[in-house]
Amino acid sequence: MSAFFNLGKTRTFKPRKDVPEGTKQYQLRKYAEATLGSGNLRLAVRLPEGEDLNEWLAVHAVDFFNHLNMLYGTVTEFCTPQEASTSPSAACPIMSAGPRYEYLWEDGARYKKATKLPAPEYVDALMNWAQGLLDNEEIFPSEMGKPFGKTFRETIGRLFRRLFRVYAHLYSNHFEHICALGIEAHLNTSYRHFFLFVNEFDLVDKRELAPLDELNEAILAEDKSR
């Protein structure tokens, strides 16, 4: 996907490093890439027979993080804390998904209580928090045979829930900008894959997905008609 973006002028986060060749996660990533290439996203999200679910979740968490990182990177000049005179529609003084949904940030470290942040600061905090999780070998082990922690499922659910918020913000606040850049097809494909994966493994409470309910229903309806 990265070939479609001109990221030279955008602020982006460091992509999570690929797992080493020969590991189970590397093999699963190659399998996922192959099934994605078939164009059948429903098939692409299914757990391969005989494989470990935690490994499958971990591989996709890294990939969705990297894809979303690049997508958000394309609109950072539009996603600003204050209204810019050259682009008055670009102001994002709060992290929201339209007028009905506002998100507060809490990470238990720098922000110990739920805190209102401008969208770019919120996404900065979220992506840095996610980067820390993905780089933590105790949570996301890359060493073959090393077990996942007892709280992995809870952690992965929290990660996917927060990644969804960035997708929701992009659709609700920056879809016009995305279209102007000509990359709406890439956003749509990335989110469709993300939503089908989340739906397949029941990773995010449906109430959390409410900001994009109409889009989600359309994705499921299209998937059933195939």
Count of H-run helices and E-run strands, the chain: 7, 0
Rounded CA-CA distance 106/165 in Å is 14
Element (H, E) at 157: helix 152-181
Packing angle, helices 119-134 and 152-181, rounded to 10: 130
Per-position pLDDT tens, the chain of length 226:
332 333 333 444 455 555 555 554 555 555 445 444 445 777 889 998 888 999 999 989 999 999 899 999 999 989 998 765 345 556 899 999 999 999 999 999 999 999 999 999 999 999 999 999 999 999 998 777 788 988 999 999 999 999 999 999 999 999 999 999 999 999 999 999 999 999 999 999 999 999 999 999 999 988 776 6
Residue 13 in domain: no
For residue 20, tell me if it sits in a domain.
Answer: no
C-alpha 164: how far from its chain's center? Answer: 6
Scan for tokens 């979740």, then name that residue. 57
Asked if residue 4 belongs to a domain, the reply is: no
Two tokens at 119? Answer: 């969208």
d(CA 59, CA 24): 10
Report how many domains make up the chain.
1
**3 belongs to a structural domain:** no
First to last CA, the chain: 24
> For position 53, what pLDDT does the model report?
94
pLDDT at 44: 82
Query: Helix crossing, 152-181 with 184-201: angle to 10°?
Result: 160
* In a domain? residue 12: no
CATH number for position 67: 1.20.140.30
Write the burial class of residue 178 (CB in 10 Å: 0-12 exposed, 13-18 middle, 19+ buried). Answer: buried
> For position 18, what pLDDT does the model report?
56
Is residue 212 a part of any domain in this protein? yes
Instruction: Tell me the residue range of the domain where 163 lies.
Output: 25-84+92-224
Q: Is residue 8 part of a domain?
A: no
Any idea which residue has 């204050």 for tokens?
82
The confidence score (pLDDT) of residue 86 equals 47
Q: Does 58 fall in a domain?
A: yes
pTM reported for the whole predicted model:
0.83
- State how far the Cα of 32 lies from the Cα of 96, in Å rounded to an integer: 32
